[in-house]
A and B are shown apart, each in its own frame.
Chain A
Amino acid sequence: MQIAVLAGFALAILVPLLSRWCGGRTGLILALYPASIAFWLVSLAPEVLQSGGIYFEQAWAPSLGLSLSFWLDGLSLLFGLLISGIGTLIIIYASGYLHGHPQLARFYVLILSFMSSMLGVVMADGLMTLFVFWELTSITSYLLIGFNHEDAAARKSALQGLLVTFTGGLALMSGLILLNVVGGSWSLQTLLNDGETLREHALYLPMLLCLLGGAFTKSAQFPFHFWLPNAMAAPTPVSAYLHSATMVKAGIYLMARLQPGLGGTEAWTTILCVIGAITMVVGAFLAIRFTGIKKVLAYSTVMALGTLTMLLGIGGEAAMIAFVTFLTAHSLYKGALFMVAGALDHETGTKDIDEMGGLCRFMPVTAACAFVAALSLGGVIPLFGFVAKELLFEAVLDAPRFTGFLIGMSLLASVLVVAAAGIVALRPFFGALKETPKTPHEAPPSMLAGPCVLAGLSLVLGFMPWLAGDGLLNAAAGAVMGTEVVTDLYLWHGLNTALMMSMVSLGVGLLVCWRWPGVRGVIHRFSPVLDRGPEAGYWKLMDLLVRVAEWQTRLLQSGYMRNYLILTLLSFTGLTGYTLLVRHGPVFDLALDVRLQEVVVALVIAASAIVACMMRSRLAAVAAAGVMGFGIALIFLLFSAPDLAITQLLIETLTVILLILVLFRMPQFSSLSTPMERVRDMFVAIITGGLMTLLMLTVLGQDLFTSISEYMIDNSVPLGHGHNIVNVILVDFRALDTLGEIFVLSLAAIGVLAMLRLQAKERKTP
């Protein structure tokens, strides 16, 4: 399974080569990857449904308790199928939509990486695995939103999405760490089996808030909903895939995943129901405010995400069945509608619904798909969306708390969504023909396959909901509940309150759709209020961030090396000295059994240090510092550490080389500092040196813990196959540290390069 998930990244690396060989057919070839994942998941399905889940583990760093482990149960299976199934259609669709785009290969790289990350999120069992894949989806999504990177607005939206989801990601990380602290495990499965401990712990509320912070930002819940419609700056295949079917559902997935462990408490129900319901209405309301077809769809996605959150908050078997059904239905029709929107945009040249009309004559297939999908969105019988909506109303009617509030909000939201569905599906295709920037014609087959399949599924599942319901949806709902769920889905639930609510929302919704321009005029009057929403807060916060950054830069970044050094040394001395003196006490005994040669070397080192400070010529100062370094190398040799001595010598040599290169660039040596400053510098130097001496004496004076050098010496040959212990430690025992160090070294080199090159460039072009 690890291979299946990670293969996407490997494939992404090969895309540039592949697109050079296969040209226009690359998309179809790449679509084989998600397709094969989908088939593979289907083939695993019977086993998953029977046993409740399959577990795959691969040790990563067992000493830290970390492993790369995946867990495939009903919920993961449902999400996995949606991701891979819709992913297949999206790649085919994109090969038509972006046909001939110069950066098509880059698009495939990104979308494949995203797909793998998303599969990783929904199948991860380890908390850290989950987090890493979660952040990968944020990064790939950022790159995909900003795909048209020459467009400033796209860049801005991409950054906004990134900042919002990354802030949430930080909250999520804190939440996951708390989860580990409270539950004592890195495995989701283990943690969720012991929900009692989690819910009764004193840290439950902070943990819940952190985790929900991550989920809410990712899934665009109020008040973080504003980034999602802005993310529509992405090419339509991206919007269709990331911002309706998959990525925004990652937050929903997380909440569903945590439900058996953390759900059911008062805090959980309150937060999820209230926030979910508000998001639902706000999304639906804003949907009819705009005329851009993608914006309308984006806000109706916000509405759907709010609904899903609300259902998770309500809890109970009915709500969970409604949750998984609504989730599936939404992915199907919203994917189809976005692809239709893309086709309209592609073939007519406009995204504004007001500029389209009477298109059904030119684009009959697209119109049919849009019509079916929109019926499902509006929840009209006999579509799958209708089944979902009935279940939603039933769940809301049975809600144990906030019943009245939730019923009102759901009804209001569904009225508005019916209107939005009508706007999207009816207005562009019917009515008088309007002049569009391009002569409209039917979309190519690659762009019709996706909407046709998804709309077709909405229709088929509407008539035969048990096809999905009996196995997959029950298993998914069971995974969310934490117990087994057996509910049969029907299209026709009989004449009941839910059906009444459905009818009312349909009627009023169509009315709103019919009078849409008028309604928009009314809403428009409230624009000043609406513009002061959370997004304005976001921009204020960004401004504040910049101002704080400027202020602290002025305060701390003087640009003078000596100031940085003083600051660093003083904080080091202060913190370490405090701990040493107050917590520990400088206890040591001075044993002066030194050899003559050691004394001589030590004196040479001290003398050269003093000389280096007194020299008036720069070269002489460098030379004196060099002597000091060689003295230290001698000390290493005296204590039989040849590796250290060689390293010290080489470093000294290179330091001299680099210093000389730098010294050429400096102004003539002159007395830059006043006597007062010299005294200050001396003071800092003396207390730093004094503290180091004290520290060394104290550390050497006592055995705080047993030395590990014995272990290293004993195991160097049998485990590391090497006689040079230093090297065995560097490349084997402590290879992870070395890996970190070479990264730091590389960063330093890049820093030098950037600093020098950029400065040189700035000076050339003033």
Chain B
Amino acid sequence: MKTGTLILSVAAQTLVPLQVLFSLFLLLRGHDEPGGGFIAGLVVAGAFALHQFVNGPEATRRLLRVDPRDCIGFGLLLGVGSALPAWWQGEAFLTAQWWEVPGLGLKLSTPLIFDIGVYLVVLGSVLTAVITLTEVDKDET
């Protein structure tokens, strides 16, 4: 069921993928340039909110594939999980750990995992609120 106007739905077709990409870009570069998990999470939540305005909550749920509530749970799990590797190394809880992927010069770290956790929690929380508000509205009408 399409609910949006033509202009909005055409714009959304281009904007939503771009916004999702941009959020990933923000997430990954966040450690050195403006960005980070929180901001990226807000951007991607905005993208899905736009998608929902145009296509309705069911379509957004289908697009997401996972329930936004599970996003929250998984995000929290990543956040807490990223605290543990340090403990394994015998250092204080939550000490950042860095690993370099050989050959690529790519650096992975627990702060990155943590940031992804934040990203998912923000995405999940905002979408839970937005989708629920819409769905409850529709149930009543």
Contact-residue bracket for chain A: 35 or more
Query: Is B4 in the interface zone, CB < 8 Å from A?
Result: no
Supposing A724-B30, A743-B76, A756-B136 touch, asked if A731 and B35 sit within 8 A by C-beta, the answer is no
Given contacts A650-B46, A732-B111, contact A756 B32 (CB under 8 A): no
Report B-chain residues with C-beta under 8 Å of the C-beta of A742: 75-76, 79, 117-118, 121-122
A10 contacts chain B at the CB level, 8 A cutoff = no
Q: Is B31 an interface residue (CB 8 A)?
A: yes
Interface segment among A56-64, A210-218, A300-308: the answer is A56-64
What is the CA–CA distance of A726 and B30 in the complex, to the nearest angstrom? 9
Contact A731 to B37, CB < 8 A, known contacts A61-B93, A63-B92, A749-B124? yes
Is the Cβ of A727 less than 8 Å from the Cβ of B133? no
User: Quick check: is A760 within 8 A (CB to CB) of the other chain?
Assistant: yes
Q: State the Cβ distance, A413 to closest chain B Cβ, in Å.
A: 48
Shortest C-beta distance, B29 to chain A (Å), equals 8
CA of A65 to CA of B24 in the docked complex: distance in angstroms? 38
Stretch at the interface among A345-353, A442-450, A465-473, A655-663: A655-663
Chain A residue at minimal CB-CB distance from B126: A654
- The interface residues of chain A lying within 8 Å CB-to-CB of B134 are 661
Q: Which residues of chain A come closer than 8 Å to B117, judged between CB atoms?
A: 742
B43 at the interface (CB under 8 A from A): yes
Complex alpha-carbon distance, A497 and B32, angstroms: 82
Q: Does the CB pair A757–B91 fall under 8 Å? A: no
Could you tell me if A731 and B98 are in contact, using CB atoms closer than 8 angstroms?
A: no
Q: How far is B140's CA from A665's CA once the two chains are assembled, in angstroms?
A: 10
The answer to whether B109 and A642 touch across the interface, beta carbons within 8 angstroms, is no
Is residue A610 contacting chain B, with contact meaning CB distance below 8 A? no
Closest Cβ of chain A to B131, distance in Å, is 9
A647 to B41, CA, bound (A): 10
Q: How many inter-chain contacts with C-beta < 8 Å in the A-B complex?
A: 154
B46 touches A654 (CB 8 A): yes
Separation in Å of the B1 CB from the closest CB of chain A? 17
Chain A residues with Cβ under 8 A from B42's Cβ?
Answer: 647, 650-651, 654
Per-residue CB proximity of B63-104 to A under 8 Å, as 1/0?
000000100100110011001000100111110101000000
Q: B90, A724: Cβ atoms under 8 Å?
A: no
| Chain A neighbourhood of B91, CB < 8 A | 59
Given A643-B34, A646-B34, A753-B128, answer yes or no on A721-B98 (Cβ-Cβ < 8 Å).
yes
A722 to chain B, nearest CB (A): 4
List residues of chain A with CB within 8 A of the CB of B139: 760, 764
Q: Shortest Cβ distance from A598 into chain B, in angstroms?
A: 21
Interface residues as binary, A332-365 with B (CB distance below 8 Å gives 1, 0 otherwise): 0000000000000000000000000000000000
List the B side residues contacting A753 at CB < 8 Å: 69, 128-129, 132
Does any Cβ of B come within 8 Å of A439's Cβ? no
In the complex, which of the residues A61, A721, A739, A759 contacts B79, with contact meaning CB atoms closer than 8 Å?
A739
Q: How far is the CA of A732 from the CA of B32 in the complex (A)?
A: 13
With contacts A59-B92, A752-B133 known, what are 10 further pairs, Cβ within 8 A?
A63-B92, A654-B42, A657-B46, A723-B31, A727-B36, A731-B118, A746-B125, A749-B129, A752-B132, A753-B132
Which A residues are closer than 8 A to B by beta carbons?
58-63, 642-643, 646-647, 650-651, 653-654, 657-658, 661-662, 664-665, 720-724, 726-728, 730-732, 735-736, 738-739, 742-743, 745-746, 748-750, 752-753, 756-757, 759-760, 763-764
Which positions in B face A, CB cutoff 8 Å? 30-39, 42-43, 45-46, 49, 69, 72, 75-76, 79-80, 83, 87, 90-94, 96, 98, 107, 109, 111-112, 114-115, 117-118, 121-122, 124-126, 128-130, 132-134, 136-137, 139-140
Q: What are 13 residue pairs bridging A and B, where the CB atoms are less than 8 Å apart in the complex?
A: A58-B90, A654-B42, A658-B129, A658-B133, A723-B31, A727-B30, A736-B94, A742-B122, A749-B126, A749-B129, A753-B128, A756-B133, A757-B136
8 cross-chain pairs, A with B, having the tightest CB-CB distances, nearest first: A749-B125, A722-B31, A650-B42, A731-B111, A727-B36, A723-B32, A642-B34, A661-B133
